[in-house]
Amino acid sequence: MDGSDIGAQRDRVVTEEEWLQKWEMGNIGFHKEQGHPLFQKYLDVLLNGRSGLRIFFPLCGKAVEMKWLVDMGHSVVGVEVSEQALKEFFSDYGLPYCEQPVPEISGAKMLQSTCGNISLYCCSIYDLSSSVLGKFDGVWDRGALVAVNPCDRQRYVSLMISLMEKNSSYLLVTVSYDPNKHKGPPFYVPESEIKSLFGNHCEIKCLEKVDDLSDRHRQWGLDYFLEVLYVLKFVA
């Protein structure tokens, strides 16, 4: 199989309603209760010895890593279409928060921790921009690029690039498997596509490939499933 061929996935579309339903039904096998081992292992690459950073979590769900970063003194901004996911994040940690509208985006709301260092937007990521969010020193992109519809990847990446400060670090987790055996999500994003999407804007380095095949993946009909971690450096 050609490593850059994503097969029938090219035209696959998952609607916002389908994602909302996953949260409503508790069908969230993608959520990692204990956090992600690659995040823990490569946290220093993201932070690079710096303190008080602004870190962005696209399609954040209720990622536990957001709480870890805040406990280290950083601030976190996330975006997620499921309000349920965001409310579960705050309730899981007993964190008080307030809700407020987002003036620039009709129907959107922001859930912000009372102490102000966690701001989670409930809306489509494509409604956001640097004028709403500002810019970021780092990104943790796990379950985000691999979850957006393949036809929307260029749009997603253009937005992400517009949100990056100079000298920021972007940790990106993709998945690798035979896309003719599973329709996704998560979608297969080959290394060649990472290079074509991001290559003109940053340095790309593959940090690690991890065999992550589980019974869940075998039920999908797969015989291999890798997680691939990249660091993207947005140099000045």
The annotation status of 33 as a binding-site residue, yes or no, is: no
List, in sequence order, every residue forming a beta bridge with 118; answer none if it has no partner.
76
Spatial contact of 92 and 61, defined as CB atoms under 8 Å apart? no
The annotation status of 27 as a binding-site residue, yes or no, is: yes
**Cα separation, 117 vs 157, whole angstroms:** 25
Helix (H) or strand (E) holding 131: helix 130-133
Identify the CA nearest to 159 among candidates 135, 138, 142. Answer: 135
The annotation status of 26 as a binding-site residue, yes or no, is: yes
The annotation status of 59 as a binding-site residue, yes or no, is: yes
The annotation status of 28 as a binding-site residue, yes or no, is: yes
The annotation status of 80 as a binding-site residue, yes or no, is: yes
The annotation status of 220 as a binding-site residue, yes or no, is: no
Residue position matching structure tokens 């290559």: 199
The annotation status of 23 as a binding-site residue, yes or no, is: yes
The annotation status of 19 as a binding-site residue, yes or no, is: yes
The annotation status of 142 as a binding-site residue, yes or no, is: yes
Name every residue whose Cβ is closer than 8 Å to that of residue 215 and which is 6 or more positions away in sequence: none
The annotation status of 205 as a binding-site residue, yes or no, is: no
Q: Is 54 helix (H, G, I), strand (E, B) or coil?
A: strand
Spatial contact of 102 and 72, defined as CB atoms under 8 Å apart? no
The annotation status of 6 as a binding-site residue, yes or no, is: no
The annotation status of 25 as a binding-site residue, yes or no, is: yes
**Cα separation, 137 vs 50, whole angstroms:** 10
Which residues participate in the annotated binding site for S-adenosyl-L-methionine? 19-30, 59, 80, 124-125, 142
Which residues participate in the annotated binding site? 19-30, 59, 80, 124-125, 142
